[in-house]
Amino acid sequence: MTTVFSFRCTFRLPKIALAQHSRTFISHSTCRAFSAMAIRPAPEFVAKETAANIHQPRDPNTLSNYNAFRTKHTEADFEIDFNAKRLKGTVHLTLEKLVKDASKVILDSSYLEVFGVKAGARELKYDLSTSRVEPYGSPLSIGVPETDSSELKLSIDVATTKDCTALQWLTPAQTSNKKHPYMFSQCQAIHARSLFPCQDTPDVKSTYTFNLRSPLPVLASGLPTGPRDFKPGQNGEPGTLLYTFHQAIPMPSYLFAIASGDLASASIGPRSTVWTGPEELNASQWEFEKDTEPYIQAAEKIVYPYAWTTYNVLVLPPSFPYGGMENPVYTFATPTVVSGDRQNVDVIAHELSHSWSGNLVSNASWEHFWLNEGWTTYLERRIQAAIHGSDKHRDFSAIIGWKALSDSIKQYGEDHEFTKLIPDLKGQDPDDAFSSIPYEKGFTFLYHLEKLIGKVKWDKFIPHYFTAFKEKSVDSYEFKATLLSFFAGDAEVSKKLENLDWDTWFYKPGFPPKPDFDTELADQCYELAKKWEALNESKADNWEPSPANINMFTSNQSVVFLETLQSSQTTLKPDLIDLMGKTYGFAQSKNVELVSRYYVLGLQARDEKVYAPAAELLGRIGRMKFVRPVFRELMKCDMGLAQKVYDANKETWHPICRDMVRKMLEKGPKE
């Protein structure tokens, strides 16, 4: 049982016993202080400066001094200004003072305007750095008055700017009914700091109050409260309503979420509602109403009762960059899950699972992101097994996940830091490390532990873990310590865990050991792929493709069929790509999971007939799961067309997606 201390100046201390472990990040100035102390004792002022600037042990991706002050409650009073495309108002922070002599609060901020800071009626001096610390923004330093109180209340007048990375503003022309503008936020991983000054780290959890004024309906990651005060408009402008929400369960800043637009709602269960544009409401309601409540009940049996009162889904416009975002109370979801066949609602199972892993129990930093996503992927697949009544369904999902893991490792390279379960993100943008790796490598580790310990015993640990860290943040070492402690009285399991190579699982880059998945549901897909490979080589023994080949396939089986051919040593000829599209209807499908993979296969085959449709698809969607692989293959086929696609869509893609594609173009095609 060993682990490692890691310092921001990049040297490491010897491995020590787990019970003594903490992972600490110390500033470069502190490292210099250590060097001085090796020669002579440091003056007292050096020791005090070192203590004041030392980072909290776990998160290297924040500039805040959250070891000295910690946010307990956040109240956001904002007006949503669609004309100026900004939020403007006041954020009120209630902070707990942790260091008696601390005289300065340092908050994260990025591309913000700050107009003033108060403590009660008292104006406070502040400094918003004019130079950015990339990729973390500009720290806001606030001098605070001396007080014996352990609580500090700050009010900060603030406005977002055109460079805000957390918000996307859509014109009426970019919405489905072309009538009203739309705005939504996406704060994960470190984008909340571009909305308001905060301690933008998942290691800090706060309760929240939202007071949001807008001319259009508003949703936020809390429960609605109070009457909606109306304010008449001026100079021909529409009037506004004040929408209020409260989140009583502490949550990290990346779960701060707001949206405003032409929204309608419908019930999808006894404690669930779907929200979306009026034109999409019926389709969205049909897509989710069958499965949402059974998913919640299945998850509650695996962990414990749902804590957030109501579970709702907001289906966003196509530019939303993720499949879903697990904002409490309101999951933000991509419209690509509304495929008209209920084949993609596993996204909801995933985001629902975040209600326990990620939202109630949060990773302490983005280096431990697998604790959010690995656990959530594991719970999602347990839900699938419970709904379908067989573990072969979760193993089938895991086979799809292994392909996603393989693709991510291939793109980074097997020795890349970001392919580790616990990567070193000091000085890095967590968005650059976003991939399938924490999801699938994390799932594989938990799947391995389940098999190692035995499912009956493992299932008793699950609610214990989520109880032990409920409303808290946790790192991998605390997870390990909790697991060892839970099974300390079981000699058989304890011995297995002692013999587990934790360092290899945590720190080795590349692939984990591949589990022996049940392939029953995948074997049919593999067999069909072999027939197409044989047809490509003129060895098909008179076999001819027919729509009947996939009549009994689920959508995910068609996905595995296409992904098997993507990974094949045999590249299909362009005429076979065309034949496949016509025979199976992939190109005409409303299911983007199928269409995107079909286009990737066609681009791999250099089938020029799919170039334009693939480019058109990139203009209709913003979900990075699809944009990334299609754009990557398009670059290999036609860099000129890829550049045109970027130029045409960079203003409509979400900033996170746009930045990702820009970086792909800068690196160029990679075979």
Amino acid (1-letter code) at residue 31: C
| Residue 417 bears catalytic tag | no
Q: Is 354 annotated as a binding residue?
A: yes
CA distances from 424 to 58, 287, 456, 506 (A): 11, 40, 35, 11
164: Cβ contacts below 8 Å, ≥ 6 apart: 86, 110, 111, 112, 194, 195
- DSSP string of 635-652? HHH-HHHHHHHHHHHTTT
Name the active-site residue from 439, 465, 598, 611. Answer: 439
Question: Closest by alpha carbon to 312, among 368, 380, 266, 347?
Answer: 266
d(CA 491, CA 670): 50
Q: Is 637 annotated as a binding residue?
A: no
Helices 639-649, 624-637: inter-axial angle, 10-degree rounding: 140
332: Cβ contacts below 8 Å, ≥ 6 apart: 184, 186, 257, 259, 314, 316, 320, 322, 324, 325
- The two tokens of residue 314 are 């907001």
Q: Map tokens 């075979």 to a residue.
A: 671
Q: Is 325 annotated as a binding residue?
A: yes
Other CB atoms within 10 A of residue 280 CB? 18
Q: Is 183 annotated as a binding residue?
A: no
Name the active-site residue from 79, 351, 380, 563. Answer: 351
Is 113:161 a contact under the CB 8 Å cutoff?
yes
Q: Is 322 annotated as a binding residue?
A: yes
Q: Is 231 annotated as a binding residue?
A: no
Q: Is 323 annotated as a binding residue?
A: yes
- The two tokens of residue 637 are 């086929």
| Residue 351 bears catalytic tag | yes
d(CA 220, CA 443): 30
Q: Is 326 annotated as a binding residue?
A: yes
* Runs of H (alpha helix) within 167-305: 281-289, 292-302
d(CA 241, CA 645): 39
CA 529 to chain CA centroid, Å, is: 33
Q: Is 654 annotated as a binding residue?
A: no
Is 284:210 a contact under the CB 8 Å cutoff?
no
- Phi/psi region, residue 557 (left: phi>0; alpha: psi -120 to 50; beta: rest), is alpha
- DSSP string of 347-394? HHHHHHHTTTBTTTEEESSGGGTHHHHHHHHHHHHHHHHHHHT-HHHH
Strand, helix or coil for residue 44: helix
Amino acid (1-letter code) at residue 648: A
Q: Is 411 annotated as a binding residue?
A: no
44: Cβ contacts below 8 Å, ≥ 6 apart: none
Q: Is 188 annotated as a binding residue?
A: yes
- The two tokens of residue 386 are 């419970």
Q: Is 278 annotated as a binding residue?
A: no
Q: Map tokens 């390279």 to a residue.
A: 413
Is 108:133 a contact under the CB 8 Å cutoff?
no
Strand, helix or coil for residue 63: coil
Q: Is 23 annotated as a binding residue?
A: no
Binding residues for a peptide: 186-188, 321-326, 623-625
Q: Tell me the binding residues for Zn(2+).
A: 350, 354, 373
Which residues form the catalytic set? 351, 439
Q: Which residues are annotated as a binding site?
A: 186-188, 321-326, 350, 354, 373, 623-625
